[in-house]
Amino acid sequence: MTRVYNRRPDFIARSIMSAAAFVKEATLCEEHARYAGFLQSLDPRAKAITFLALLVTVAFLEQAALIGLVYCACLVLAWASKISPGYFLIRTWVFIPLFTLGIVIPAMFSFVTPGAALAAFDIWGVRFVITRPGFDGAVLLVARVAASVSLAVLLSLTTRHAELLKVLRIFGVPQVFVLTVTMCYRYLYLFATLVENIFTAIRSRVGVMPQRRAGRRVVAWNIANTWSRTTKISEEVYLAMLSRGYTGEPRLLAGFQLRLRDLVWALAVFVWCAGLLYLERR
Amino acid sequence: MNDIVFELQDVKYSYQKKYPALCGIDMTIRQGEKIAIIGANGTGKSTLLHMLDGLVFPDQGRITAFGQELSEAALADEAAAWKFRSRVGFVFQSADIQLFCPSVREDIVFGPLQLGVAANEVARRLAEVARVLDVGHLLDRVPQQLSIGEKRRVAIASVLAIDPEVYIFDEPTAGLDPLTVRHIIDLVVQANRRGKTIITAIHDLHIVGELADTVYVFGKDKKLARSGPVEQVLSDRAFLEAQNLVHIHGHIHEGREHVHPHLAFERHA
Ligand SMILES: Nc1ncnc2c1ncn2[C@@H]1O[C@H](COP(=O)(O)OP(=O)(O)O)[C@@H](O)[C@H]1O
Ligand SMILES: [Mg+2]
């Protein structure tokens, strides 16, 4: 087998491994929530309410520039919370195309959004026209999604999951729902772990990713099997939680505590949201 | 008669109603007893322990715990479940499954917090079990990233913190180094001296004598092959061989008899 043959499958294996490591890190390690940064120091209830207010505000804003302000605030908050800018940008921009690509690109063109032409080009004799309203709409959508995703990522990076779940309960979200979210989290983590283990096992037995047909069958079988194995393990994890008295009600060692800084923060955010909405209306 | 912790009468259980795991088990476990469940792989040891912990329930037959029937319906009552879970602690076979929190600290306090122990008492227990199991330096680590021995100690700590009356261990010493095994045995013996009931599934016969006074041997047919005082059962070599628990190859070391498992195709050094 030549190198050229091996390179591509190995690249795929490596990408899958790093994706799995990313999911694991994101669902369990809560590394960023332990840093001593600004958002980490706030009471989770105050944080959750203010982020909700910001999300709602973003949904109401129609001017891309105002949404841009919120996005810039996110970058500042990330910096103040000791999240490295590179990491934060990757974390957010990985998701943004997921929500926008399929909508934004078609919507820019004249056959979806009519209006004055901004740019035009030909492909195989078909004329494509990007319209002014189409372009503006696309910018607005991307800005809105970017700001919303950034807010969500900021909140989840700087708050421990047990605390977030507890906040959900405080805000009256039913126990069953919190339990489901909890188990989904565990499921994702277990799934990522299993994928990692399988690829390590295959590589340790075969060296590189197998080329021959038999080898590919092993991989396919393993991938299909990963779902059912994960389900089985997550059922066992659920039993382990049950065994130690779990009922779906998150409980924390240290209770929440509202301090002056939380109130000041909340007030500042509400004033800011009101200001943005005022500018929007004007 | 009120010192009976668990009583099983002709208990049968199959996974998905298809794969039999327990085929008619009768047992009586009394308070303060130290018992071992031994048997080859797949003889139903783990299934039995899950049942004792109220995680699976008999298809047929009956199990009572502390004088009350142990059933899905009984545990559906939150107060009853809370009481039962506070009295019975289970260390699972796989520490990877048992540890599901983002930090060792959270895993250790999970049980007591869920069971409504007051915060200052939880903190006291955390400090105490961390000392006893020597995991104090690991409290802020992610459990999944620890070594197998460390994971096992954390898993045991997370159950000790509940302070139950009955401890159930599923192969607590499998895959550990001798020092850690020693440590765990001492812990179990001490807990028993304090009056705790100890139920251990194991297949390392060297240490059964230390972990139990009474043994129950599970056979390939997923029934009890024999039960009785530990010396009596372990001295019947022919029986243990028939149960796949020892290989014929026993030999003498420093005047003491040892039984080493050997692969059939392995050459003896
Ligand atoms: N989740 C499951 N689904 C189907 N069969 C199972 C499951 N768990 C265990 N079994 C079967 O039940 C029997 C007893 O298993 P187990 O209690 O794990 O044995 P042991 O702990 O003694 O090794 C085995 O035949 C095993 O294959
Ligand atoms: Mg087992």
**A6: pLDDT strictly greater than 60:** no
Mutate to test the interface with B, among A244, A247, A249 (most CBs of B within 10 A): A244
Beta carbons of A266 and A50 less than 8 angstroms apart: yes
> What sections of chain B are H helices per DSSP?
45-52, 72-76, 78-87, 95-98, 104-114, 119-132, 148-160, 178-193, 205-211, 230-234, 237-242
In chain B, the residue whose alpha carbon lies closest to the alpha carbon of A246 is: B114
The 10s digit of each residue's pLDDT in B122-154 is: 999 999 999 999 999 999 888 888 999 999 999
Per-residue model confidence (pLDDT) at position A23? 76
Distance from the first to the final alpha carbon of chain B: 53
**If you write DSSP's letter for every residue of A147-186 in order, what string do you get?**
HHHHHHHHHHHHS-HHHHHHHHHHTT--HHHHHHHHHHHH
Average pLDDT, chain B: 88
ipTM summary value? 0.83
Q: Report yes or no: A25 at the B interface, CB cutoff 8 Å.
A: no
Q: Which of A21-35, B85-99, B156-170 has the lowest mean pLDDT?
A: A21-35
The 10s digit of each residue's pLDDT in B182-223 is: 999 999 999 999 999 999 999 888 889 999 999 999 999 999
Per-residue model confidence (pLDDT) at position A2? 42
Bridge-based pairing of strands B214-218 and B224-229 is: antiparallel
Place of tokens 């299909």: A224
Per-residue model confidence (pLDDT) at position A49? 92
Tell me the C-alpha distance between B36 and B19, whole Å. Answer: 24
Quote the Cα angle for B204-B209-B210, to 5°.
95
Quote the Cα angle for B256-B257-B260, to 5°.
130
Q: Which of A227-231, B57-61, B114-118, B236-240 has the lowest mean pLDDT?
A: A227-231
B90 closest CB neighbour out of A28, A193, A243: A243
Residue A248: which pLDDT band, with cuts at 50, 70 and 90? confident
Per-residue model confidence (pLDDT) at position A3? 45
CA B171 / ligand 2 centre spacing (Å): 7
Beta carbons of A233 and A35 less than 8 angstroms apart: no
Cβ-based interface (< 8 Å): residues of B facing A: 50, 53, 55, 78, 81-82, 85-86, 89-90, 92, 94, 97-98, 100-103, 105-106, 109-111, 113-115, 119, 122-123, 140, 142, 144, 158-159, 162
A29 closest CB neighbour out of B78, B90, B142: B142
* Type of residue at B220: K
Q: Please name the fold of domain B4-96+165-263.
A: Rossmann fold (3.40.50)
CA B227 / ligand 2 centre spacing (Å): 19
Partners of residue A26 in chain B, C-beta under 8 Å:
none
**A218: pLDDT strictly greater than 80:** no
Bridge-based pairing of strands B60-65 and B34-39 is: unpaired
Per-residue model confidence (pLDDT) at position A211? 58
Ligand 1: residues whose CB is within 6 Å? Answer: B 15, 19, 21, 39, 41-47
Average pLDDT, chain A: 82
Quote the Cα angle for A82-A84-A88, to 5°.
110
Coil, strand, or helix at residue B222?
coil
Beta carbons of A98 and A77 less than 8 angstroms apart: no
Tell me the C-alpha distance between A228 and B14, whole Å. Answer: 19
Spell out the residues 6+ positions from residue A80 whose beta carbon is closer than 8 angstroms to its own.
A37, A38, A39
Kindly report the length of chain B. Answer: 269
Partners of residue A255 in chain B, C-beta under 8 Å:
119
Arithmetic mean of pLDDT, B14-35: 94
Tokens of A144: 């809105």
Q: Model-level pTM?
A: 0.78
Partners of residue A241 in chain B, C-beta under 8 Å:
100, 110
Per-residue model confidence (pLDDT) at position A35? 86
Task: Give A207→chain B minimum CA distance, Å.
Answer: 25
Arithmetic mean of pLDDT, B64-81: 92
Mutate to test the interface with A, among B100, B160, B168 (most CBs of A within 10 A): B100
**A7: pLDDT strictly greater than 70:** no
**A42: pLDDT strictly greater than 80:** yes
Tell me the C-alpha distance between A184 and B259, whole Å. Answer: 46
Mutate to test the interface with B, among A231, A243, A246, A257 (most CBs of B within 10 A): A243
Per-residue model confidence (pLDDT) at position A1? 41
Residue A276: which pLDDT band, with cuts at 50, 70 and 90? very high
Quote the Cα angle for A128-A133-A135, to 5°.
60
The 10s digit of each residue's pLDDT in B149-169 is: 999 999 999 999 999 999 999
